[in-house]
Structure 1
Amino acid sequence: MTPDIRLRVDGRAIVLLTAGCAPGLCPAFAFWACKASAPGRSIAVTPMRSEQQQTDQHADTLHPYACECHAAHLPSSRKKARMRASLFKFGLNLWRPFLFAGIHVTVLSEDYRFARVELRHRPWNRNYVGTHFGGSLFAMTDPFWMLLTIHNLGRDYYVWDKAGNIEFVKPGRGTLTADFVIDDSLLAQLRQATASGEKHLRWFENEVHHRDGEVVARVRKQLYVKRKPAR
């Protein structure tokens, strides 16, 4: 007898209804059918009736199985697992615009709430007067507010760089550092400001320091944040 397989959404789970298959095979059908319905998610198949109750049913009875998606509840979430911060940091440090400019990400916390970036002085990245090239100082701060914000808000939000400016306080030599920190309060403010679907513009500020603590530059970046429309 050819198995009859039907899918329906039941709250937070997909429920698979099967008929014409042995009770032991029903979970397998449930797993693969739900896997196809929720690609990239962790699947666990949970019987809604006991195995004994199923064997007591006639062959044409539909046996329901619930398929729970632990990575994201169906049917609406667009959130997916973040890349490990250590792997992401490794990729950033191999990115050629950073690699050849002497920019190096030294710390990226696993929760994407903190980043520390260095600009290292090399013969090939100095300017005409032997100090750090101003474009490199701006580049070392360029993507990180956006990256930290987008990793914490998730795929339900658009996050873009909108504007930026830099104030050069003194010539930079040696190794320079810049820190980036976001917290729960900031994320809550962004979610609240975009809850109605309107765009929100937010300025972020940080400083570039020499190793001795002296301020070399002050940088401001403006982010555009907007919640994506529900699908």
Structure 2
Amino acid sequence: MSIYKRIATVGPKIFSRHKLFKYGFNFSPMYRRSTGRIIEVSEDLLNIRMKLPISWKNRNYVNSIFGGSMFSSVDPIPMVQLINLIGDDYVVWDKSAEIFFKKPAKENLYADFSYSEKELEEIRVKIAISKEIEIVKITKLMNNDGTQLYCEVKKVIYVADKAFYKQKKKIK
């Protein structure tokens, strides 16, 4: 079991889930290196906001935010968010990602991540029928007031019934 899974298992006994999510990400060496910071997490974990401040740690040769920082600051959130929302009866994996740079970022960037209760229910229903599915989440890195788009990240996330997934692995 990874250190992150242990924290997710034990942590809620001490902290609320949304605070554990926020501070767990922000103190994690894996996420700190991206230079992104989780700034808001709703109590139900359905909505998350992150900030990618421009700094000497992530400026590239042309003085804008390095594309790798843009990607790594948003990469883990949709998957980990879904794992925490959907429960332990499912396997959730990142399957693929595409990044689309729209313009150089020379200011702080922000991204919002959300799932709706309806979306979660649709995922559960589809898995009950098909046993495994792929969903697509698109994250936009914008300026603070949301008027300028700098980057889009399209993630394909694999979700499966845990029992089905274990049986599938045995067959291979």
> Given residue 149 of structure 1, which amino acid in structure 2 is its aligned partner?
L
Structure 1 equivalent of residue 73 of structure 2: 140
Structure 2 equivalent of residue 217 of structure 1: 151
Two-structure CA RMSD over aligned residues (Å): 2.0
Q: Determine which of 56, 60, 83 is the counterpart of 1:127.
A: 60
Matches within 5 A, 1:5-84: 83=12, 84=17
Q: After the TM superposition, which of the residue ranges 162-171 and 121-130 deviates more from structure 2?
A: 121-130
Residue pair 2:141, 2:152 contacting (<8 A) in 1 also: yes
TM-score, length basis structure 2: 0.81
Please give the per-residue CA displacement for 1:182-226, whole angstroms capped at 9, x wherever unaligned.
Answer: 001111111011114621011111211012420001111010000
Q: Deviation at 1:123?
A: 1.0
> Given residue 121 of structure 1, which amino acid in structure 2 is its aligned partner?
I
Matches within 5 A, 1:80-99: 83=12, 84-99=17-32
Residue pair 2:99, 2:152 contacting (<8 A) in 1 also: yes
Structure 1 equivalent of residue 120 of structure 2: 187
Structure index of larger Rg: 1
Correspondence 1:169 to 2:102: yes
Displacement over 4 Å in runs of 4+ = none
Q: Deviation at 1:98?
A: 2.8
Q: Deviation at 1:112?
A: 1.0
SS in structure 1 at match of 2:131 = coil
* Rounded Cα–Cα distance in structure 2 between residues aligned with 1:201 and 1:99: 28
Q: After the TM superposition, which of the residue ranges 140-149 and 219-228 deviates more from structure 2?
A: 140-149
Please give the per-residue CA displacement for 1:125-144, whole angstroms capped at 9, x wherever unaligned.
Answer: 11111100001111111111
Correspondence 1:117 to 2:50: yes
Structure 1 equivalent of residue 39 of structure 2: 106
Residue pair 1:207, 1:218 contacting (<8 A) in 2 also: yes
Q: Deviation at 1:81?
A: 8.9
Residue pair 2:139, 2:154 contacting (<8 A) in 1 also: yes
What is the number of equivalent residue pairs in this alignment? 152
Q: Deviation at 1:82?
A: 7.9
Residue pair 1:193, 1:200 contacting (<8 A) in 2 also: yes
* Rounded Cα–Cα distance in structure 1 between residues aligned with 2:67 and 2:125: 36
Residue pair 2:11, 2:20 contacting (<8 A) in 1 also: no
More contact order relative to length (CA 8 Å, sep ≥ 6): 2
> Given residue 148 of structure 2, which amino acid in structure 1 is its aligned partner?
E
> Given residue 145 of structure 1, which amino acid in structure 2 is its aligned partner?
P
TM-score, length basis structure 1: 0.61
Structure 2 equivalent of residue 4 of structure 1: none
